[in-house]
Amino acid sequence: MLIRILKLPRVVQNEIIKESECRSMFFLSCCSQKMKELVRGASLKPLYIKYRLDPSPYVSVLVCFEQQEEMLAIALKKPQLLTNGITMVKIADLQFQGRYQKTDDGALYLQYLEPNREDDSVLISLQDHVDALFPNVSRISLTCMHPSVIPRSRQIRNVTDILLTSHPITTDLSTDHIEHLLAIHRNTKSFYANGQISAVELLDSSPFLHLDMFSCWAAGNVFFLVLRKFTGRWLHLIYCINNVDTCPLEELLETWRTRRTHENLRGVRLSLGHQVNVPELIYRFNLQKWNPARRPRYYTNVPKINHVEYGDMFDKSGKMDTSEFYDIQQIDTGKWASIHIAQSTNGTAAKFCVWDL
C-alpha cells in the first residue's frame, strides 16, 4: 500500500523516520527537499559519521547508531558504468545531480552525469547533504585505507577521529604520514595507526603525542619513546618484538608513580609479545590488592572513541570490573591507579587506569 508520508501528521512522520532503517531514511532524504527537511526535523543523532577512503576512486560514507554501522553512499571521483537500478537523485539542497545504483551492500553509488568529469565535488556535495541531515553529530571519523589517499582526505571536514592503515599491517607507517594527516585535520582527538610506525627521531613537539587518544603498533625505541612522551589521556600500544631488555610495564609504573610524565593519563592498554615477572612488579612497586575502602570496584571513565576496541575492558554498561586489579599510589599526590596483567603463551596484556577520587 502506498503511503504519502508528507500528508501525515508531523508526529506520525517523525515516528516513521525514527523507526526506519538508517539507509532507508537516507534514500528518502534524496527524494526531495521536503523529504530532506523531514528527515532532518527528526533530530536524529548518530554516534558518529565515518568517511572511508580507499586507493580506488571510491569514498564510502557510513553512519553508526547504537554501535551498528550502516553504509549510506559511495561517492565516485570518476564516472563509471552503472547498469542496475539507475535513477536520478538530488543532494545538497538540490544543487547537485547524480545517479545511483543500489548494490548488494545497499549503498547509493553517486556520480556525475558528465562522463569525462573527474574531481571530488560529488564527495563534497554528499558531505553537505549528510551534515544537513545530522547536524547534531559530535564525531566525524576518517578511515584512510592506505597512506596514498591522505591528500584526498582534505575534502573531509571537521574530522575528530582518524584511522590510518597499511596493507599488510606489518608494513611500516612513517610518523610523517601521521603528522601529515594531523596537519590537515587539526581538530583530531584520536588517532589509530593500524600498522607498525617507524621514525628516525621522535620530537616532543610531534602532534600525535599530544592527542587525547593514540593507538599504534611499535617496536624498539619508538615504542618506549611514545610511552614516555605521550601527554594525552588514552594510550594503546602493541609491541612488535618479543625480546626486550627493559620491561614496558616497569617503565609505565615508574614514570606514573614518580610523576615524571603522564600527568593527564587516564588509561593505557599494552599488548606485549613476551612474558613479564609479575611477582617482581608487585614487590618493586608495592602493588596492593583491591580494597573497597580505598576505591570503587567499577571503573566508569570510558573513552568515547570508535576506532579502538575497548570491548574487552568495559562491559555494555560502560563499566570495567577492577576487583582483580592491583593498585599503585603516586608519590606526593596520593593519587591511585590500578593495573591488571594477564599472561598467556602469546605474551602479556595489561590494562592500566587512573582514578578520580
Provide the pLDDT for residue 185.
96
Phi, psi of 59 (to 5 degrees): -130, 115
Summarised one tens digit per residue, pLDDT across range 47-68 is 889 999 988 777 888 888 776 7
The pLDDT of 144-167, averaged and rounded, is 90
Highest mean pLDDT: which of 8-17, 101-110, 120-129, 241-250?
Answer: 120-129
Whether the predicted pLDDT of 347 surpasses 80: yes
Whether the predicted pLDDT of 149 surpasses 80: yes
Please state the pTM of the whole predicted model.
0.84
pLDDT above 70 coverage of the chain, percent: 77
Provide the pLDDT for residue 254.
92
Which DSSP category does 27 fall into?
A: H
- Mean pLDDT value across the chain: 79
Provide the pLDDT for residue 322.
92
Whether the predicted pLDDT of 242 surpasses 60: no
At 305, the pLDDT band (50, 70, 90 cuts) reads very low
The helix/strand/coil state of 147 is helix
At 253, the pLDDT band (50, 70, 90 cuts) reads very high
pLDDT above 90 coverage of the chain, percent: 27
Whether the predicted pLDDT of 220 surpasses 80: no
Highest mean pLDDT: which of 106-115, 162-171, 255-264, 334-343?
Answer: 334-343
C-alpha distances (whole Å) from 344 to each of 198, 223, 267 are 27, 21, 22
Provide the pLDDT for residue 88.
47
Q: What is the DSSP string of 310-336?
A: -TTTS-TTS-EE-TT-EEEE-TTT--E
Question: What is the distance between the alpha carbons of residues 99 and 82, in angstroms, rounded to a whole number?
Answer: 9
In the numeric block, the cell 543523532 is attached to 45
Question: What is the distance between the alpha carbons of residues 207 and 142, in angstroms, rounded to a whole number?
Answer: 17
Whether the predicted pLDDT of 225 surpasses 80: yes
Maximum separation of any 2 CA atoms in the chain, in Å: 73
Provide the pLDDT for residue 245.
65
Where are the chain's structural domains? 16-133, 144-354
Summarised one tens digit per residue, pLDDT across range 183-217 is 999 999 999 988 888 766 677 888 999 999 998 88
Pick from 31-35, 86-90, 230-234, 347-351: least confident: 86-90
Question: What is the distance between the alpha carbons of residues 323 and 258, in angstroms, rounded to a whole number?
Answer: 24
Residue 314 is placed in which grid cell? 568495559
Provide the pLDDT for residue 247.
82
- Determine how β-strand 213-218 pairs with β-strand 172-174: unpaired
The pLDDT of 333-338, averaged and rounded, is 92
The pLDDT of 70-86, averaged and rounded, is 64
Which contiguous run of DSSP H or E holds residue 53?
A: strand 48-53
Angle, nearest 10°, between helix axes 248-257 and 220-229?
Answer: 20
The pLDDT of 142-154, averaged and rounded, is 91
Summarised one tens digit per residue, pLDDT across range 86-145 is 444 555 443 444 455 555 556 677 766 555 566 677 788 888 888 888 888 888 999 999
Provide the pLDDT for residue 166.
78
Question: What is the distance between the alpha carbons of residues 108 and 101, in angstroms, rounded to a whole number?
Answer: 6
